[in-house]
Amino acid sequence: MVLTAAMGMVVGIGIVLMFISVGKDYATGEIFDRLYLARDISLSINAFYSVPGNALITYKEDLGDYILKIKDNYVILNPDTNTEGKYTYVSDRKKLDYYFPSTETMLITKQGNELYITQGMEEFNDVISCLPDVVEVNSLIIESSNNLVESILTDSGDEKTIKESDFTNEIVKDLSSKLYGGSINTKVVSFSNGYNLDKFSRDIKNYDYSLSINYGKDDDFSKNDIIAYVNDNPNTRILACNILSSLMKRNIGITKTIIKTISGDRVSGFDSKSMLKYGNNIIYLEIGNIKAKNEINLINRVYDISEAIYDGIIDAKNEEPIIKTDRDTEEELIPVIGDK
């Protein structure tokens, strides 16, 4: 008797709670909101796949406190709840897989055939204008020349201080170790070690590209912009574009990416006239304010950056050739019209 009563109470409480939950969602309109947003996002994704070139939109609808999951042809808001909002979209060969525990501004970007969804980023300057062309990168000089004056980075959260030169040196070391033994012949140099410009100019001519990694000089710690200074060689711009694009894809708090073509003015601590004088394939990269909650995350962020730069170089090098008709099959490639 007691057991039966207890069982009845448990079931009754469960039923009541379920009714309250559903009723609340209905009364506040959240259930309609989730369904509407799921459909709207699905239609946006479908429409974006139709764009023949590159594109970018900021999704303006207020996603509030909803959990957003995009996976396996479904857009789901507040998944695994009684009143989730769910709708399907038609995916491309690469299925999307995103999970945002809390969504604010959502950015949908299409670059080539790939669709990316990120959150919280406002701008994507220049990066989506990368021409997907092949860049022959067989040799690379990596340089870290920011140590004209040692300055201190203060982590905005925990008052940890790390010398900025340590950052870029770590990035350079990690990047060169990743490239070591691969198809790209690399050489690491640094002006602070007495590597003078004469040697640098000789090496620049013998190497395909030079990548100078430097810390940003922005005093506004709320920003983390990455700027790539390049000359007007289109291949250099493509390489820089791929590196910036790779950095943007990572969730490391980058606020803006910019590619600037130098014209001979002084660029931060590096004489840009030297770039123009000594070679035409130099990328001067300013990493920006690297910030993290604690020292471990700070170090991890540094390695994230080096890995992203590595990915960008490899992406540029392995980009698909100029024309193919069926890229993913074993069929013989159809050559460029007019070649033969």
Q: Does 8 bind other proteins (CB under 8 A)?
A: yes
Q: Which residue has the tokens 């574009």?
A: 241
Q: Collapsing DSSP states into helix, strand and coil, what is residue 315? A: helix
Specify the residue, 113 or 251, whose C-beta has the smaller distance to other proteins.
113
Q: Which residue has the tokens 């690379």?
A: 140
CA distances in angstroms from 273 to 151, 197, 216, 235, listed in the order given: 25, 12, 19, 19
| Residues 208/316, Cβ–Cβ less than 8 Å | no
Specify the residue, 4 or 193, whose C-beta has the smaller distance to other proteins.
4
Specify the residue, 7 or 197, whose C-beta has the smaller distance to other proteins.
7
Span of 41-49, 144-152, 168-176, 203-211 interacting with other proteins by CB under 8 A = 41-49
Give, in degrees to the nearest 5, the angle at Cα 35 between 29 and 37. 100
Site for other proteins in 58-97 (CB under 8 A): 72-74, 82-83, 88-93, 95
Site for other proteins in 94-123 (CB under 8 A): 95, 112-113
| Residues 288/223, Cβ–Cβ less than 8 Å | yes
Contacts 24+ apart (CB under 8 A), 216-222: 216/286, 216/287, 216/288, 216/289, 217/268, 217/286, 218/288, 218/289, 220/289, 221/156, 221/289, 221/291, 222/255
Specify the residue, 4 or 222, whose C-beta has the smaller distance to other proteins.
4
The footprint of other proteins on this chain (CB under 8 A) covers a number of residues equal to 52
Q: Does 46 bind other proteins (CB under 8 A)?
A: yes
Q: Which of 6, 13, 24, 32 binds other proteins (CB under 8 A)?
A: 32
Q: Which of 22, 148, 197, 333 binds other proteins (CB under 8 A)?
A: 22
Interface residues toward other proteins, by CB under 8 A:
1, 4, 7-8, 11-12, 14-15, 18-19, 22, 26, 31-32, 35-36, 39, 43, 46-47, 49-53, 72-74, 82-83, 88-93, 95, 112-113, 131-133, 322-323, 325-326, 328-329, 334, 336-338
